[in-house]
Structure 1
Amino acid sequence: MEEAGKGEVLERNTKSRLDSHPGSTASFFTDDLILDILSRLPARSVHRFKCVSVTWRDIIADSANRKKLPQTLAGFLYTTTVGWNRHHFATVSGSAAPFDTSLPCLQPNKYKDMAQVDACNGLLLYLCSSKSVVNPWAWAEDDFRFVVCNPATGRWVELPPQPQAPIYRYRYNCMAGLAFDPAVSSHFHVFCFEETTVKTYMTGVNIYSSRTGAWSRRDGGIAEKVALFFYNKGIFVDGMLYVIGNLKGTSNEYVLLGMDMEGKVQKTIPMPYGRRFGTIGSSQGCLLYAVASVDDNNKILDSEIELWCLKDFDSKELVLKHTANIDELMSMTGEKYRVVGIHPDCDTIFLVSYGGDTLVAYDIRHQKVGRILNLEKNNAQRFLPYVPLFSESLADADRQ
């Protein structure tokens, strides 16, 4: 049984025991036993159990217990650009600990500049340089290094240089992704995809495994000729990394690639509306895709958003889960929005205004506007969700 399924069963059993002895059962458990039960549940269930009793609420809220309990979304890392990259953090949880975007855990003055690349289940992936400006089109240069860190514990590791690729005159790294599931293993993988301006589609991928402490390479033949979107992000679900690309050929349709940890593509899934680009994310164990609706004449409806779902590991097509109308939000603010994130524990999406200065939480199931946050101006972009991970274990951290 998958971890999410175990959590749901445990939550139902716990609820049934409480219901069978109303007002008294909760008092029979010791604090240590309550903490042990809660540590085995999904973050969404833990927050619901704050309502069981004052004792349970205090146990969950106690900062000393935070390391043992699953955490929910704290906020989003994002970047603004005014001559150089500036890093910011937008808090979406009132109980979240402050996040220092300067990452003081890294060695002082070791890196001149850092680019936010990806985030996955509490770990962050950065591209660090000894130069003053990071140039993503030149990631293969010797003075650029990937760094994986856990801000909640201050542990981090610098990855070794990537293996040499075949000599292409115009080779560049189009994107990178982080794959990590603490419920399965303390080890992580980093994927670095390559394209060339000559072939204009994916030509290879370098994969770093913290278990081996080394990179491996898969050249060509990854899938059909697919061009990945530059600076796109991957989503890791059920042991597979999913990325969006453009299928080269007569249709040029957008597809979702599901890749295993060996770099082999297991799924090539057509995206809704062919050449409409949306946002992928994961929530409650499912991979989701959010995109603006279209009318019968294929005209984009800015006020309607569709949420599509890849239900399970064996699924090879996306199915429509929700359709939301954000007319109320647009009339309140006078702005248009695009989806930049999906909450990992509930049916909430996050939208940013086209001006890039407002982040909005929207409950897509109940069609309600939630929290509205003001962002730093200057074209906020590259939103990465952050869920704190208080586990001391970070595989390979002794390399720091």
Structure 2
Amino acid sequence: MEEPEKGEIFWRNTKLGLGSHPGATAASLLTDDLILEILCRLPVRSVHRFKSVSVLWHDLIADPANRKKFPEALAGFLYTTISNNGGHHHFVSVSGTAAPFDPSIPYLQPNKYSGITQVDACSGLLLYRRYNSKDDSHLVVCNPATGRWVELPPQPQPQPLELANRHTHATGLAFDPAVSSHFHVFHFEETYGGGYITGVNIYSSRTGTWSHRNSGMVEKVTLFYGSRCVFVGGLLYVMGNLNYISNDYVLLGVDMEGKVWKTISVQGLGTIGSSQGCLHYGIASVDDNKQIFGIELWCLQDCDSKELVLKHTARFSELMSMTGKKHRVVGIHPDCDTIFLLSHGRGDTLVAYDVRNKKDGCIFNLEKNSTQRFLAYAPLFSESLADAYGQ
């Protein structure tokens, strides 16, 4: 039998009324606000289990307005290594514990598929592409905490005249369990040869179908190969260049219906992430001589704004105090002002750094030949995945 997590013994006793005065349970003496305040301080798995305590507790925890109060418990990062035998999937835990699931996701690789690639992660769901060949691949969304998954149907094919002129560099997952159990997948289309965004195919798990939207933008945005997508504030963001100018960088944001498109100017090619409900952007600090001397963390405090605000800065002299190496930002903690830095060179060290208090945290050793792409994973212990028909 699985051992109870911290805090669960107390709450089991509370449920039974142990330690309270005769004739009343301890839980009956707590207001909804007090119950929520305590639940917000417990591990995510425990909160999920406490939905079975009573109908009241289930409704409190499941209420979208309340779920926004619960912190996202970052478990770690998914990444891959490349060898002569192909790609290998790994997980680095930020707590030092064992991986919460097999990062190779074996149930997504039946005999007819030769492998899977990591595409994106969002609020506990993972997006993969499984394939036999370049021309035979399918997108799959899964929840590794529950083992449930769904394979997306094929995307709509462009007309024959358009087929030779369109391809994609970015695919992203959009999901907010505090708003809905349904997710969206975005597949951006560009003119051939890395020209500019022409539109996007959007899959909705609510309808089970894809829809196509033209961008309609006057600005010409070119995405980078394998660009990381981030969903926050109802928009999916991805980084690109503006109007074919190599050093004119922007963040492109698109809403769930593909009707709202906006761009936000940024200083350079950095790392984006969602933290504390806001879009964050980490970038190297450069002096007047174009020399890198530190790291900056910017934040979009107002979702309706198109202007990022400088939140924190850190010099390499501070960042190198523990490792003696230079690093770049590859991840941002979803619930606090901590960034994750990958060492330059072989990229075999990941460092947590508290930018608010300017303190190094844990150092994590990675597999050799690690890729430069890391997907943050926070477990979602929801019983269902919309449209799931997998195991």
What amino acid does structure 1 have at the position aligned with 2:368? Answer: K
Query: What does the per-residue CA deviation read over 1:293-327, in whole Å, with 9 as the maximum and x for residues that have no partner?
Result: 111334322xx111111002212100101111232
1:96 CA drift (Å)? 7.3
How far apart are the structure 1 equivalents of 2:29 and 2:116?
43
**Aligned counterpart in structure 2 of residue 152 of structure 1, from 136, 139, 145:** 145
List aligned pairs for 1:371-382, cutoff 5 A.
371-382=362-373
Sort the Cα spacing of 1:251 and 1:341 in 2 relative to 1 into closer, same or farther, 3 A.
closer
- Give the match for residue 88 of structure 1: 90
- Give the match for residue 238 of structure 2: 243
Any conservation in 2 of the 1:122–1:150 contact (CA below 8 Å)? yes
1:335 CA drift (Å)? 2.0
User: Which blocks of at least 5 consecutive residues in structure 1 are unaligned?
Assistant: 1-23, 51-58, 132-137
User: Which blocks of at least 5 consecutive residues in structure 2 are unaligned?
Assistant: 1-19, 53-60, 62-69
- Give the match for residue 318 of structure 1: 308
Query: What does the per-residue CA deviation read over 1:94-125, in whole Å, with 9 as the maximum and x for residues that have no partner?
Result: 56762211224436434211000000000000
- Give the match for residue 341 of structure 2: 351
Any conservation in 2 of the 1:80–1:381 contact (CA below 8 Å)? no
How far apart are the structure 1 equivalents of 2:250 and 2:324?
33
What amino acid does structure 1 have at the position aligned with 2:340? Answer: F
- Give the match for residue 164 of structure 2: 169
> Aligned to 2:108, what secondary structure does the other structure show?
coil
Any conservation in 2 of the 1:149–1:156 contact (CA below 8 Å)? yes
Size of the alignment, in residue pairs?
350
What amino acid does structure 2 have at the position aligned with 1:30? Answer: A
The worse-fitting range, judged by mean Cα deviation, of 335-344 and 217-226 is: 217-226
1:35 CA drift (Å)? 12
- Give the match for residue 202 of structure 1: 197
How far apart are the structure 2 equivalents of 1:264 and 1:124?
25
**Aligned counterpart in structure 2 of residue 216 of structure 1, from 211, 217, 221:** 211
- Give the match for residue 296 of structure 1: 288
- Give the match for residue 258 of structure 1: 253
What amino acid does structure 1 have at the position aligned with 2:214? Answer: D
Structure 2-normalised TM-score?
A: 0.81
The worse-fitting range, judged by mean Cα deviation, of 362-371 and 67-76 is: 67-76
Sort the Cα spacing of 1:152 and 1:198 in 2 relative to 1 into closer, same or farther, 3 A.
closer
What amino acid does structure 2 have at the position aligned with 1:246? Answer: N
Root-mean-square deviation over aligned CA pairs: 3.1
- Give the match for residue 227 of structure 2: 232
Sort the Cα spacing of 1:279 and 1:115 in 2 relative to 1 into closer, same or farther, 3 A.
same
- Give the match for residue 15 of structure 1: none
- Given the alignment of the two structures, is residue 281 of structure 1 paired with residue 273 of structure 2, yes or no? yes
How far apart are the structure 1 equivalents of 2:325 and 2:303?
37
**Aligned counterpart in structure 1 of residue 375 of structure 2, from 370, 378, 384:** 384
Query: What does the per-residue CA deviation read over 1:201-249, in whole Å, with 9 as the maximum and x for residues that have no partner?
Result: 1122110000000000123524511101110111111111111110015
> Aligned to 2:389, what secondary structure does the other structure show?
helix
